[in-house]
Amino acid sequence: MKAGSKKDFDLIIAGGGMVGSALGCLVAAQSPDTRVCVLEPRPPENPGDDKGWALRVSAISRASQAVLEHAGAWSGIAAGRISPYRRMMVWEGDDPGRGLSFGAEDVGEAELGHIIENSLVQWALARRLEQLPNVLVIPAAVEAVGVEPGQVTVIAGSHGTIAGRLLVGADGAGSPTRSMMDISTRGWSYHQRAIVTTIRTERAHRDTAFQRFLPGGPIAFLPLCDRSISIVWSTPEQDTDALLALDDDAFMEAVSEASGQVLGKVITIGNRAAFPLRAQYATRYTDKRFALIGDAAHAVHPLAGQGVNLGYLDVAVMAEVFLESLAQGRDPGDLRCLRKYERWRKGENLAMLAAIDGLGRAYKVGSGPLPYLRKIGVDLLGRTPMARELFVRRAMGLAGDLPRWAVA
């Protein structure tokens, strides 16, 4: 798509990360006559299979996989390093056998989802955007937004003014476009930082994800395809720097102890990093000719691995509402159309945020009746087939009011 001094599009997306690029791919792939512009100042780098494992990975649910398939990006992702996980174990205390264990076979599926490097997903989506003739990717950030009758305009640095029928903010938790549109947020810090690294253990992971709840926060083992394991360890802020400062042997010992040696001792360790944890949500998702998706609309604790999966459901619903409006001859930037997206997604996202927050806080309580109640709840879930199946399907993203492109 050729650029002019003032470019007119049906859809402008601010942010070409994992969620914004997916929306661009999905809309453009499903509607070849729809003109899409993606603004992203930092294009992704080729991850390459010859490089070490990236520190940031995501557990991509089956519903998210369906979104990426309909967007035409899944084949590019699957050509790289993807790691199916088929079972999951969640526990507290010293005995994993007294926790909750479930697998894809419980609902007749081959896998629960895939562990994939974020960089691979971003790279495959960027390559897919290049293939679509109705998409223009501009390497710039939004500097200003103006809403006019019938259109929204953005200033993209030296690329000038870009006009469209709808602007979608997919520019992260610190979303500049959200601020430009005067949409406020609410949230709180968990006073934790998540330590991420890649390890190997004495015993193979057997395509199983493990999560142990500790008083300071959970530690998760996410299986990778070469027997490696990506870990996400939520630690109190006051402990994080000390853990990062340990030498490799001492840190491996600390991880072994935190995981209860569920797979034996840690025998190799990669580079380490940490990032702060907080919950946040936008007070509203839409305005005139504007909508928020992904982390720009909501950010959750990583303990349930749902962050990017919520974003992909946003993508599927936004694409459905947007293209339905076009097909019906309605203005897709009209607030009445956009509110359908907000009604569909905001309540579900807030419910998930509250559930994840409540789960994390519940497992911090180590005395009184709550630990006993937790044990009863886990036992009932494990022994009740219908509840177990619903739980597994919810974890896979296959339950609830699913949009059309979140279904394979």
For 266-290, the DSSP string reads EEEE---EEEEEEEEEES-SEETTE
Question: Which of helix, strand or coil describes residue 233?
Answer: strand
Q: Flag whether 192 is in a domain.
A: no
Using CA atoms, how far residue 278 sits from 39, 298, 350, in Å, is 26, 10, 14
Whole-number pLDDT of residue 96: 78
Residue 222's identity, in one-letter code, is L
Binned at pLDDT 50, 70 and 90, residue 396 comes out as: confident
Q: What is the per-residue pLDDT across 129-181, written as a single tens digit (0 to 9) for each?
A: 999 999 999 999 999 999 999 999 999 999 999 999 999 999 999 999 999 99
Q: How many domains does the chain have?
A: 1
Specify burial of residue 52 (Cβ count, 10 A radius: 0-12, 13-18, 19+): exposed
Q: Flag whether 177 is in a domain.
A: yes
Q: Flag whether 357 is in a domain.
A: yes
- Sign (positive or negative) of CA dihedral 332, 337, 340, 342: positive
Which residue segment(s) compose the domain that 178 sits in? 6-83+115-186+279-365
Binned at pLDDT 50, 70 and 90, residue 371 comes out as: low
Q: What is the per-residue pLDDT across 20-29, written as a single tens digit (0 to 9) for each?
A: 999 999 999 9
Among 153, 214, 241, residue whose Cα is nearest residue 365: 214
Structure tokens at 225: 């395809």
- Residue showing tokens 């005139």: 288
Structure tokens at 317: 């619903």
Q: What share of the chain is helix, strand, coil (3-state, %, to 5)?
A: 40, 30, 30
Flag whether pLDDT at 284 surpasses 90. Answer: yes
Of 361 and 109, the structure prediction assigns the larger pLDDT to 109
Whole-number pLDDT of residue 49: 67
Q: How far apart are CA 40 and CA 368, in angstroms?
A: 50
Whole-number pLDDT of residue 388: 61
Q: Flag whether 342 is in a domain.
A: yes
| Neighbouring C-beta atoms of residue 387, cutoff 10 Å | 12
Question: Which of helix, strand or coil describes residue 350?
Answer: helix
Whole-number pLDDT of residue 4: 39
Structure tokens at 84: 């199916």
Q: What mean pLDDT is predicted for residues 48-52?
A: 76
Helix axis angle, 62-70 to 20-30, nearest 10°? 50
Q: What mean pLDDT is predicted for residues 22-38?
A: 98
Structure tokens at 380: 């009932």
Q: Flag whether 305 is in a domain.
A: yes
**N- to C-terminal Cα separation, the chain:** 30
| C-beta separation of 293 from 19 below 8 A | yes
- Torsion (CA) 54, 55, 56, 60 in degrees, nearest 10: 70
Q: Flag whether 379 is in a domain.
A: no
Beta bridge partners of 138: 39
Residues 6 or more apart whose Cβ sits within 8 Å of residue 389: 106, 107
Whole-number pLDDT of residue 387: 59
CATH number at residue 284: 3.50.50.60
Q: Flag whether 252 is in a domain.
A: no
Q: What mean pLDDT is predicted for residues 398-404?
A: 85
Rounded to the nearest integer, the mean pLDDT of the chain is 90
Beta bridge partners of 57: 117
Residue 78's identity, in one-letter code, is A
Whole-number pLDDT of residue 357: 80
Q: Flag whether 299 is in a domain.
A: yes
